[in-house]
Structure 1
Amino acid sequence: MSKQYAVIGLGRFGSSLAQSLTQEDNEVLGIDINEERIEENREAVRHGVIADSTDEQAMKSLGIRNFDVVIVAIGDNMQASILSVVVLKELGVKHIVAKALSKHHGLILSKVGADDVVYPERDMGQRIAQKLMSPSIIEFIKLSDEYSIEEVRISANITGKSLIELDIRARFNVNVIAVRYSNNSVKISPEPDYRLKEDDVLVVIGKNDDLKELEKFNAK
């Protein structure tokens, strides 16, 4: 079921997010104070509006409180992003997601009403670093400072072995939650006797230190 999203700030992050949401058949309103950015993103969003998100009356006139989620993606003006969250909170927006430029900025956004705070640049840097250090890692999702989910491309070292033979949970304290096959189909909770094939990808969850030990084993 599609939802209604409003994305405030159509810079690189905001426009990419808006486009992805639109492609998934959601109703997306793009808001930016810059007319040029609205024009540049005509194809990325179904509706684009030039407006100042720190102006309570302007946001009220757009019916902003009726959207399921409003994302404050302002990337170059910390004050504007904070004030925008304050305005959205005052207007009764159900769920506010805000982009933070720093940890301090993120703390302030949370204090003034953001339900979720995201750090795109930091998170992307972590993902790139993880891939550079561990070439077998396809995707990396940090759940907390202690836990992560990883997609691990299996090596020749474990190809042909069954999950029960590898006994990953007992040996590494890591749980296999799915296997993604070469045709991109996914098997959730694969059977213990499933034998891994050359192009399979393991989706695993666990403590970061334990995941590193699994990576070392897989890379042998």
Structure 2
Amino acid sequence: MAELQTEPVVVIGLGRFGSALALELTGRGTEVLGVDSHPRVVQSMSGRLPHVVTADSTDIEALRQIGVAEFHRAVVAIGTDIQASILTTSLLADLGISDIWAKAISDQHRRILTRVGAHRVVAPEQDMGERVAHLLSGRILDYVEVDADFAVIKTTPPRDVVGTPLRESRLRNRWGVTVVAVKPQAALAGRRTEFTHATPDTVLSYGDLILVVGPVDNVERFAAAG
């Protein structure tokens, strides 16, 4: 895997989510400072992360002592201790961290984190549950919601758009969606195929995989039409 050099990140809370995030960032070439309040957790990560320390993230002096104020990006990955999560986020804002990400476990938790200074809030369990629900509900093979009520899906083309150039299929008028990429069926000429950009002249075939973008309801209806 090619390394991608980016700004250092401090990850506070090394449970399942935080440790996975810290390890993935490290593997991608990002310098990470891992922080957790439990010495046993820090010890277990010491051989896997180059920089990991034990500290109470609800104490602003402790955060200063380990150099957190020098970071521009931070992730509060604290799990079920909502009070610690909120206070830590607030202290990071007080320290002037310019890009604060925080993990939420409920909508109320999400709202509070935003109010106290989080710039981005993620809810991994809720987001994954919603994604799986979309995958189970029909012909959608993959689903990523990129904004409120806007998504990218991977699916196969409905029967009535097969064999017709995309410019003639009137997908935006009929469905309110856009096909942005296509991966021809792998069986074609026995060759390995990859996703390529779709153009107005692209003609879809049965078995192709396509990436479709649009409002959530629209892409779901499009996928169900097949």
What is the TM-score with the length of structure 1 in the denominator? 0.87
Match of 2:133 in 1: 129
Contact 1:130/1:137 (<8 A) preserved:
no
Q: CA deviation at 1:129?
A: 0.8
For 2:77, give the aligned amino acid.
A
Residue-by-residue CA offset, 1:47-83 (whole Å, 9 max, x unaligned): 1111111111111122212223100010020000011
Superposed, 1:34-183 pairs within 5 Å as 34-42=38-46, 44-144=48-148, 146-154=149-157, 160-180=163-183
Q: CA deviation at 1:10?
A: 0.8
Q: Give the Cα separation in 2 of the matches to 1:43 and 1:166.
A: 56
Aligned residue pairs, count:
216
Structure 1, gaps ≥5 residues long: none
Q: Is 1:213 aligned to residue 221 of structure 2?
A: yes
Contact 1:169/1:176 (<8 A) preserved:
no
Kindly report the root-mean-square deviation, in angstroms, between the aligned alpha carbons of the 2 structures. Answer: 2.3
Match of 1:187 in 2: 196
Taking structure 1 as reference, are residues 81 and 216 closer, same or farther at Cα in structure 2, changes over 3 Å only?
A: same
Taking structure 1 as reference, are residues 158 and 82 closer, same or farther at Cα in structure 2, changes over 3 Å only?
A: same
For 1:205, give the aligned amino acid.
V
SS at match of 2:53: strand
Q: Give the Cα separation in 2 of the matches to 1:134 and 1:42.
A: 44
Rg comparison, structure with higher value: 2
Q: CA deviation at 1:184?
A: 7.3
For 2:152, give the aligned amino acid.
I
Q: Give the Cα separation in 2 of the matches to 1:82 and 1:42.
A: 26
Taking structure 1 as reference, are residues 44 and 193 closer, same or farther at Cα in structure 2, changes over 3 Å only?
A: farther
SS at match of 1:129: helix
Q: CA deviation at 1:153?
A: 3.9
SS at match of 2:225: helix
Q: Give the Cα separation in 2 of the matches to 1:77 and 1:153.
A: 43
Structure 2, gaps ≥5 residues long: 187-191
Q: CA deviation at 1:24?
A: 1.5
Residue-by-residue CA offset, 1:66-112 (whole Å, 9 max, x unaligned): 22310001002000001101111111111111111111111111111
Aligned-residue sequence identity (percent) comes to: 36
Match of 2:6 in 1: 2
